[in-house]
Amino acid sequence: MTSAAASSPAAKLALAVVTEPERAVPAPVGAREDAMRSLLQTAADAGITRVATRPQGDQERLLGQAWPFPSPFAVSVRAVALSEGLDRVEARARRSLERMGLPRGDVLLVSGAGDLAGAEGRALWDRMLSLKDRGLYRRIGFLTTMEDGPVLLARRFQPDVVQIPCNILDQRPVTEGTLADLAGLGVEVHASSVFARGLLFANRETLPPGLSAYGVALSRTRRRLAEARTDPMQAALAFCLNLPPVAAVVASVASAAEMRAVLAAAHAPSPDLDWSTLALEEPAALTTGSQFAVSNAA
């Protein structure tokens, strides 16, 4: 990678393709494959080199049929939940690679840190290590939230990668030093939920009952962004892309058009904002809140 490419915001982005019906436009199978191919090519042309997947629906199959050749992407795979059984976790991790037509993956992630905290946590990690030792995955790690105590888990299991929600509404990973602590342990940190699970783009009228109390605060945040002449997507990406401990910013997109919108926002000048004024006072509910369907962003 050239120095110019390495300094591009796209080099820090990771693409999470969305295929859920509420986001993806319904289309015949052939058209869906063409749309996936266009999305991946748009990302590749922009210099994105990471793709994050999860084992649901036909996402992996579509990816496997649409990779650019040669593919520039390193792929991270989310394992199924431990509740499905250790054998199932291992078999599905192997199957994910087969469905995508890949001889090996870059990262395999435990689907939730709670799986590691339970009685079978060590056995699960040993299965992950075994897949790494056999060369099926280059690195292993886990998805976590602030409530999971990610730094303690990282000290215990010594993961290569940790993926954690972080955004302008929930800045706890920054303000509480979690990102810096993880990086200090030699962990590669990936930031997810950068658009606050769609809350940055939701209207007060569309908030579910459990999050309705955030309506006033969200309106205030959007007003401050408008006063700074910054749209929510641009602000969200600027905040995470400029965090030194973060190696990758996971942005979910459902189409090539959304990919272009994310890229344009990522390359926009970083806004001059007091980030602390944008955070919610009690953001913990965001980690379990409902996902919002939005038309222009993840």
Q: Give the pLDDT band of residue 292 (cuts 50, 70, 90).
A: very low
Question: What are the extents of the domains in the chain?
Answer: 3-287
pLDDT at 46 over 50: yes
Q: What is the mean pLDDT of residues 207-220?
A: 79
| 55, 96 Cβ separation under 8 angstroms | yes
State which fold the 3-287 domain adopts: TIM Barrel (3.20.20)
Q: Give the pLDDT band of residue 296 (cuts 50, 70, 90).
A: very low
Distance CA 12, CA 249 (A): 6
Distance CA 281, CA 33 (A): 43
| 194, 236 Cβ separation under 8 angstroms | yes
Which H or E element spans position 157?
A: helix 150-157
Q: Closest Cα to residue 196, out of 106, 286, 271, 91?
A: 286
Measured from the Cβ of residue 61, the count of other Cβ atoms closer than 10 Å reads 16
| Per-residue pLDDT reduced to its tens digit, 79-91 | 999 999 999 999 9
pLDDT at 226 over 70: yes
Reduced to 3 states (helix: H, G, I; strand: E, B; else coil), residue 295 is coil
Q: Full-prediction pTM beyond 0.85?
A: yes
| Per-residue pLDDT reduced to its tens digit, 120-168 | 999 999 999 999 999 999 999 999 999 999 999 999 999 999 999 999 9
